[in-house]
Homo-oligomer: A and B are copies of this chain.
């Protein structure tokens, strides 16, 4: 729990996730709890793009009594304080990824094995802004997802239709 500059105002982008969550909780008069700590820790350990279900399973390896509702509530909390962000990849389940101080990025998703790769492309972002302006829009956020087959799956089964 690195106490990296937990000084004062607003959200310190340089603080560790734990510290930021702690700060957020205290600012709002909320309370720390064993569950919140465990869920947040598990979430960051898992690295990203996890569904609530996966998170529940993993959390329960350490503490079998963690309830689904608490995981939902905690992930919502993490999203509110900017430590996680929710994504929909069209499979019906919300996925969360760490968001603390990370630059914007988009996703490549393998339709064969489900692998999710992140990427960022400055030029695409620039063009997006351009397109939006042309339509009179002020962009707040965007999502770009490329669906296809990753190198490994291509090699394994060239030109085959996915399951």
Q: How many copies does the complex hold?
A: 2
Chain B residues with Cβ below 8 Å from A59 are none
Interchain CA distance A93-B160 in the complex, whole Å: 31
**Cβ-defined contact, B146 with A139, below 8 A:** yes
How big is chain A's contact interface, by range?
Answer: 20 to 34
**Cβ-defined contact, A127 with B123, below 8 A:** yes
A145 to chain B, nearest CB (A): 5
Q: Kindly identify, within residues 120 to 163 of chain A, every residue whose CB is under 8 Å from any CB belonging to chain B.
A: 121, 123-124, 127-128, 131-132, 135-151, 154
A39 to chain B, nearest CB (A): 23
Chain B residues with Cβ below 8 Å from A140 are 111, 147-149
Determine if A70 is an interface residue (Cβ-Cβ < 8 Å): no
**Cβ-defined contact, B88 with A108, below 8 A:** no
**Cβ-defined contact, A142 with B144, below 8 A:** yes
